[in-house]
Amino acid sequence: MSVKALRRLAQRYGIEMNDAMLRFLRAAILQLAPSGQVTVAIERFQQGLFQRLQHERELYEQTLTLHLKNEREMYEQTLAFRLQHERELYEKILTERLRVERERTDQQFAHLREIVEHQRIALEKQIEQQRVALEKQIEQQRTALEKQMEAHRAVLEIQIQAQREIVEQRFADLLRYLDKRFEAYERHLVQLREDMEGRFRTLTWLVSGATAFLSVLLTIYQFMR
């Protein structure tokens, strides 16, 4: 068996041997050949080679298992650290978002409170203006009615004076007629005064109701806050 054949045989089994080892192995085989122990030597060599390969495989499997275990532990530690970091970062982001949302909600409530306050002030001003306008209108109507009655009374007095000089016989009938007219006008004045007082009471009730409604709105807002 040549050195090349021995090298190919060693390479077949995955063994790297230099030329000196190959020549030594060839010399040993040639020395054992006359005694018929070449086959036995080859079998022993194959058994030793198989045992070495088995040992190398077991050692490689153990090394690989240990390496995989270490890699797994390191990966689990890295993953746990990363998850912890991600959770802390998410908690910070969530806390910041909650703070921003709380500030924005407070600003919205403050703006809403200002709007409600402005609306309440505007409504109170509007009610006060309506009340003043209604009182002024009532006063104008009363003054106009008094002037109208005064003018009518003056006209009647002139007519009575003129008719007294002309027709003395109808003086009593005219007096009764004027008394009835005066009573009717007085009833009309009483009815008008009652109507005006009723409208004033209605306006007062509306003002009280609006004030109570605004108080309820303010109480609800304070409760929501």
Asked, for residue 1, whether it belongs to a domain, the answer is no
pLDDT single digits (tens) 49-90: 677 778 888 888 899 899 999 999 998 998 999 899 999 999
pTM for the structure as a whole = 0.31
86 is in which domain, residue-wise? 37-224
Asked, for residue 8, whether it belongs to a domain, the answer is no
- Of the listed ranges 39-48, 130-139, 152-161, the least confidently predicted one is 39-48
Asked, for residue 31, whether it belongs to a domain, the answer is no
Asked, for residue 159, whether it belongs to a domain, the answer is yes
| Burial call 77-103: b when 16+ CB within 10 Å, e when fewer | eeeeeeeeeeeeeeeeeeeeeeeeeee
Q: How confident is the model at residue 222 (pLDDT cuts 50, 70, 90)?
A: confident
Asked, for residue 2, whether it belongs to a domain, the answer is no
pLDDT single digits (tens) 90-133: 999 999 989 999 998 889 888 988 998 999 899 999 999 999 99
Task: Specify the 3-state DSSP secondary structure of 34.
Answer: coil
Provide the number of structural domains found in the chain.
1
